[in-house]
Structure 1
Amino acid sequence: MKLLNTINYPSDLRKIKANELPLLAKELRNFIIDIVAVKEGHLGASLGVVELTLAIHYVFNTPFDRLIW
């Protein structure tokens, strides 16, 4: 089963084991590439923040913690 299909909320992300996060990042990058292939968009910037975004949502209690992005 794909990890991405199990996540609907930030709290779902925090249930994933830390060693599975690289696999989730790969799934997210593939998802972004598939979307950009069909629709126009900026690929580089989106791919560049996958790990950062996962880390922030994994470590902080979003959406309750306030983040300035």
Structure 2
Amino acid sequence: MADVETYPLLDNIDDPADLRALPEQELPPLARELRRFLIDTVSRTGGHLAANLGTVELSIALHYVFATPDDRLVWDVGHQSYI
């Protein structure tokens, strides 16, 4: 059996405020962890992956800059976001 992957940054984020508390230089490593998490999960469960990988940095940036959940983000089926 393969070793269980760990996600040290992702494991400590429970809500958008936790994400905003990270120093800006931690955002690229967080994006790498999130991509690895998505790939690991989809490799076990199956499903669509490309659209999820394409929005990792965008999702992190939106939650980092805006005061979610007070600021509302709406995603449509075309993988776009409206603020």
Normalised by the size of structure 2, how large is the TM-score?
0.79
User: Between Structure 1 and Structure 2, how many residues are aligned?
Assistant: 69
Q: For structure 1, list consecutive stretches of 5 or more residues without a partner in the other structure.
A: none
Map Cα deviations across residues 32-67 of structure 1 (whole Å, 9 max, x no partner): 000010011111111000000000000000000122
Unpaired stretches in structure 2, ≥5 consecutive residues:
1-6, 76-83
Q: Percent identity?
A: 57
Instruction: Give the RMSD, CA atoms, in angstroms.
Output: 1.1
Higher strand share: 2
Q: TM-score, normalised by structure 1?
A: 0.94
Whose Rg is larger? 2
Deviation at 1:5, TM superposition (A): 0.7
**Deviation for aligned residue 1:14:** 0.3
Greater helix share, structure number: 1
Higher relative contact order at CA 8 Å, sep ≥6: structure 1 or structure 2?
1
